[in-house]
Amino acid sequence: MAATRAALDRVAMDLIAAGLEQCVRLEVQGKPHAQAALRKLQRTLLMLR
């Protein structure tokens, strides 16, 4: 059970990292929805705690 939880945690962190990378790219490109996407990712991260 612990191994499954650890694997799911790693997958979740990988998804969050990919999302954050996308937000940074959007911000660099000047896309207006980058901040909204970042806030959504922040809420998701807080739920995983």
Q: What is the pLDDT of residues 12-34, one digit of tens each?
A: 888 888 888 888 888 888 888 88
The share of the chain scoring above pLDDT 90, in percent, equals 2
Q: Is the pLDDT of residue 2 over 80?
A: yes
Euclidean distance between CA atoms 16 and 41, whole angstroms: 7
Closest among 44, 17, 19 to 33, alpha carbons compared: 19
The pLDDT value given to residue 9: 86
The pLDDT value given to residue 19: 83
* Pair of tokens at residue 1: 């059970």
Average pLDDT of the chain is 85
Residues in the chain: 49
The pLDDT value given to residue 49: 66
